[in-house]
Amino acid sequence: MTTQEQLHRWHELAQQLRVDSIRTTTVAGSGHPTSSMSPADLMAVLLSKYLRYDFNNPDNPNNDRLIFSKGHAAPLLYSMYKAAGVINDEELRSLRHFGSRLEGHPTPILPWVDVATGSLGQGLPVGVGIALAGKYLDQLPYHTWVLLGDSETAEGSVWEAFDHAAHYTLDNLIAIIDVNRLGQRGQTELGWNTQAYAKRAMAFGWQAIEIDGHNLTEIDQAYSAAVTVNDRPTVIIARTKKGKGVASLEDLGGWHGKALKSDDAKRAISELGGERQMTITVDTPEEQGQPASIGNPQPLQLPKYNKGAKVATRRAYGDALVALGAAQPNIIALDAEVSNSTYAEDFAETYPERYFEMYIAEQQMVAAAVGLQVREYKPFASTFAAFFTRAYDFIRMAAVSRANIKLVGSHAGVSIGQDGASQMALEDLAAFRAVWSSTVLYPSDANQTAKLVAQMSDRNGIVYLRTTRENTDIIYDAQEEFPIGGSKIIRSSDRDQATVIGAGITLHEAIKAYERLKNEGITVRVIDAYSVKPIDMQTLHQAARDTKGNLVVVEDHWIEGGLGAAVLDAFAGTSNTPIYNGPQLRLIKLAVRDMPSSGTPEELLHAAKIDANAIVEAVKSQVRQPVGV
């Protein structure tokens, strides 16, 4: 039972959080005070009684995790940090200023923030990932708390999270929906119909508790029920008022994302009982356990393939991931119900305790990967390359979260053949290149794939590997190394008249073109640009110098943003790299331009003009055309 004194202290804390949310946004001149005020009571009780968090050691594996999925309530979160005594009032007032850690939406620049939020509907799916780690990998009793706005439940990704959390019986996951009824531009779809939320959540297998989100006793009881349930996740559906506590704001439209002017702020603060400087001691975790051990590392023994054989790079991914799994017990695999196509199933069979089936929910899969890496696991998530487009916003936000995740897309390009355009990734290189912190790899051979998979594990940021459906020739010896950022010159002479740059499936076409051109007396250099980002600028510049600037880039991808664009970028200057100054670049991009259909891989490569034939023609057109004409 709660005493009157406790209730009073909670109320005082909630009022302080409201006051500070107003103060800091008024100083900033922007931000979301009213959205911070509605869940202030919820957060006051959480911080005072339920959260177990060692602020001195955010890396303590026993810490609860708190995600503000409604990232625009950042002022409230930061006010909680002040109340917890880890930031001072001066820093609080730096909200939204250039150089401050207190950005408009939370980011992991702050040591207590695990993931960036601000793109709504992502916090709960990420919470699922952390809760998976807690329950199945760490096997520690910490809780993951996620504060959601009501509007964001319109995002399908939230229901992917509801679905997966129940499927994996994540009783360590607690969602709190701040049902303040008012979205950015008016009433939300469901308004204060908390029962509608509850029905949906229960239908998805959750415990749902409807409360008055300003009644401290009800909040206390709901949290108590949430932390004691042991067969399902809990959602607390809290009816609240936006701008609660200030009559001129409370439950009124037109106040979303608006800071109060200085005079209005003064009046509002006065109405809330004035400024307070309470600090509270947040309980640290009772248990101080260590994450469950998940096997002893074995020496890495990557698979080896014999030259001359034909093996799909997706097959090599599966083999290499199993090998890597033995060497690195913190590797976790995820797949979106296509593990028999991506070959993640090999890992799933070998290490079932380190595999999570994500069903056909790519957003949840990427979010789970982000959650797992919060707990310092190394997630490898795979699906058809085309279907990572489904999760592009999650990948974008993973970068803002400074997350380290590895994504592997199979079935890239027209070379998949009969299935047709819907299954062909033709924009994945462009999309992944345009992600901050990304690495983009595209192997052409199984031995190369294995070496790249091994390197992915320790590579920070968003690391993407594109694999190929078809069996392709093993062209490299199993001993060769393929450093990220490098390339391989696989054919060259001192008489090369042009350079052909390929990667993945098109490298094999380049090799065929080399032979045909050689028969016609034209020698070309062939470069395997397996590292699309970062690209091997030096080797490309040297090739341009050696082959009169004649470059042909060939890729199984739309003509925009992929390998051709990466090669072109290598010849542009930036604010800190000089412009290439060798012979004039005469570059031809061969890439997919028309919407492909079904057909054999050969027919489709030919129709797209990215086969050996097209390369031969392009090289001939370059060699025939005199320089400068």
HEC sequence for 302-339: CCCCCCCCEEEHHHHHHHHHHHHHHHCCCEEEEECCCH
Q: Judged by CB under 8 A, does residue 586 bind its own copies?
A: yes
C-alpha 253/C-alpha 250 separation (Å) is: 9
**Binds its own copies (CB under 8 A): choice among 48, 157, 373, 547:** 157
Contacts of 308 (CB under 8 A, 6+ apart): 473, 474
157 and 122 Cβ atoms separated by less than 8 Å: yes
Q: Judged by CB under 8 A, does residue 117 bind its own copies?
A: yes
The angle formed by the CA atoms of residues 423, 427 and 431, to the nearest 5 degrees, is 130
CB of 542 to its own copies, least distance (A): 17
**Residue pointed to by tokens 């204060």:** 192
C-alpha 424/C-alpha 388 separation (Å) is: 11
Residue 91 CB neighbours (<10 A): 16
Q: Judged by CB under 8 A, does residue 468 bind its own copies?
A: no
Q: Which is nearer to its own copies, 223 or 387 (CB)?
A: 387
Write the interaction track for its own copies spanning residues 430-459; mark x where CB under 8 A is met and - where it is not.
xx-xxxxx----------------------
Q: Which is nearer to its own copies, 31 or 303 (CB)?
A: 31
Q: Which is nearer to its own copies, 189 or 353 (CB)?
A: 189
465 and 317 Cβ atoms separated by less than 8 Å: yes
Contacts of 339 (CB under 8 A, 6+ apart): 345, 348, 357, 382
Measured CA distances, 152 to 45, 125, 163, 298 (Å):
23, 12, 16, 44
Q: Judged by CB under 8 A, does residue 390 bind its own copies?
A: yes
CB of 241 to its own copies, least distance (A): 19
Q: Judged by CB under 8 A, does residue 493 bind its own copies?
A: no
Dihedral Cα 385, 391, 396, 397, nearest 10 deg: -140
Q: Judged by CB under 8 A, does residue 245 bind its own copies?
A: no
Which amino acids are annotated catalytic? 362
Q: Judged by CB under 8 A, does residue 225 bind its own copies?
A: no
Q: Judged by CB under 8 A, does residue 568 bind its own copies?
A: yes
Q: Judged by CB under 8 A, does residue 419 bind its own copies?
A: yes
Residues 162-201 interacting with its own copies (rule: CB under 8 A): 163, 167, 183-185, 188-189, 196, 199-200
Q: Judged by CB under 8 A, does residue 624 bind its own copies?
A: no
By CB atoms closer than 10 A (0-12, 13-18, 19+), residue 552 is: buried
Q: Judged by CB under 8 A, does residue 628 bind its own copies?
A: yes
The token pair at 121 is 């509907």
Q: Judged by CB under 8 A, does residue 340 bind its own copies?
A: yes
The token pair at 80 is 């909680």
**Binds its own copies (CB under 8 A): choice among 313, 444, 449, 622:** 622
- Return the range that interacts with its own copies (CB under 8 A); candidates 55-63, 234-242, 263-271, 381-389: 381-389
Residue 465 CA, distance from chain mean position: 14
**Binds its own copies (CB under 8 A): choice among 324, 565, 612, 616:** 565
Q: Which is nearer to its own copies, 402 or 459 (CB)?
A: 402
Q: Judged by CB under 8 A, does residue 604 bind its own copies?
A: yes
CB of 417 to its own copies, least distance (A): 8
Q: Judged by CB under 8 A, does residue 90 bind its own copies?
A: no
CB of 569 to its own copies, least distance (A): 7
Q: Judged by CB under 8 A, does residue 100 bind its own copies?
A: yes
C-alpha 22/C-alpha 251 separation (Å) is: 16
289 and 61 Cβ atoms separated by less than 8 Å: yes
Is 466 strand, coil or helix? strand
**Binds its own copies (CB under 8 A): choice among 78, 204, 351, 442:** 204
Q: Judged by CB under 8 A, does residue 4 bind its own copies?
A: no
Q: Which amino acid is at 36?
A: S
C-alpha 316/C-alpha 320 separation (Å) is: 6
Q: Judged by CB under 8 A, does residue 370 bind its own copies?
A: no
Residues 249-308 interacting with its own copies (rule: CB under 8 A): none
Q: Judged by CB under 8 A, does residue 521 bind its own copies?
A: no
Residues 41-80 interacting with its own copies (rule: CB under 8 A): 71
536 and 486 Cβ atoms separated by less than 8 Å: yes
By CB atoms closer than 10 A (0-12, 13-18, 19+), residue 553 is: buried
Q: Judged by CB under 8 A, does residue 587 bind its own copies?
A: yes
C-alpha 596/C-alpha 615 separation (Å) is: 19
Measured CA distances, 87 to 77, 94, 610 (Å):
11, 11, 57
Q: Which is nearer to its own copies, 3 or 624 (CB)?
A: 624
CB of 373 to its own copies, least distance (A): 17
Q: Judged by CB under 8 A, does residue 418 bind its own copies?
A: yes
Residues 310-339 interacting with its own copies (rule: CB under 8 A): 337-339
Q: Judged by CB under 8 A, does residue 361 bind its own copies?
A: yes
Peptide bond just before 626 cis, omega within 30 deg: no
CB of 30 to its own copies, least distance (A): 5
Q: Judged by CB under 8 A, does residue 27 bind its own copies?
A: no
**Binds its own copies (CB under 8 A): choice among 75, 123, 213, 564:** 564
Write the interaction track for its own copies spanning residues 398-417; mark x where CB under 8 A is met and - where it is not.
-xx-x--------------x
- Return the range that interacts with its own copies (CB under 8 A); candidates 82-90, 285-293, 423-431, 515-523: 423-431
By CB atoms closer than 10 A (0-12, 13-18, 19+), residue 262 is: exposed
